């Protein structure tokens, strides 16, 4: 059994939780929450999600990029469930989409 440590911060301004991903092994458990915003703090992951951020408005490219993330990192990531944007500190944050 593999134990994952995911850092959970509390956002004062929004009143909800944030999950901070500091390495690629934390990505799967962080995305599994599906209700918490995920901050990508790992520089290599941030570059990957920056591409997703740039193509997310073009549906075919967003679907292809989400598939590549899922396959490359072994996580469940669907472009329809998450929206990427920048924080004020220029970090990538993934926000769950309302269903």
pLDDT score for 46: 95
Query: Parallel, antiparallel, or unpaired for β 37-40 and 92-96?
Result: antiparallel
Phi and psi, residue 17, nearest 5°: -90, 150
Q: What is the pLDDT of residues 79-94, one digit of tens each?
A: 999 999 998 788 999 9
Q: Is residue 23 part of a domain?
A: yes
Q: Is residue 82 part of a domain?
A: yes
Q: How many CB atoms lie within 10 A of CB 48?
A: 19
Q: Is residue 60 part of a domain?
A: yes
Contacts 24+ apart (CB under 8 A), 72-75: 72/48, 73/24, 73/27, 73/28, 73/45, 74/28, 75/27, 75/28, 75/31
Q: What is the pLDDT of residues 42-69, one digit of tens each?
A: 999 999 999 999 999 999 999 999 999 9
Q: Is residue 72 part of a domain?
A: yes
Q: Is residue 2 part of a domain?
A: no
pLDDT score for 17: 87
Q: Is residue 71 part of a domain?
A: yes
pLDDT score for 2: 41
- The C-alpha atoms of residue 17 and residue 15 are separated, in whole angstroms, by 7
Q: What is the pLDDT of residues 2-11, one digit of tens each?
A: 444 444 443 3
Q: Is residue 1 part of a domain?
A: no
Short-list 32, 1, 38, CA closest to 16: 38
3-state secondary structure of 75: coil
pLDDT score for 11: 38
Range of the domain at 62: 7-96
pTM of the model: 0.79
Count of structural domains, the chain = 1
pLDDT of residue 22 exceeding 70: yes
Q: Is residue 33 part of a domain?
A: yes
Q: What is the pLDDT of residues 69-79, one digit of tens each?
A: 999 999 999 99
């Amino acid at each position: 059994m593999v134990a994952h440590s995911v850092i959970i911060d509390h956002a004062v301004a929004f009143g909800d939780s944030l999950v901070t991903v500091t390495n690629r092994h934390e990505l799967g458990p962080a995305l599994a929450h599906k209700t918490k915003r995920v901050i990508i703090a790992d520089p290599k992951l941030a570059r990957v999600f920056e591409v997703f951020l740039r193509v997310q408005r073009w549906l075919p490219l967003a679907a292809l990029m989400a598939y590549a993330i899922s396959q490359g990192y072994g996580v469940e990531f669907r472009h329809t469930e998450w929206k990427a944007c920048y924080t004020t500190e220029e970090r990538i944050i993934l926000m769950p989409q309302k269903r």
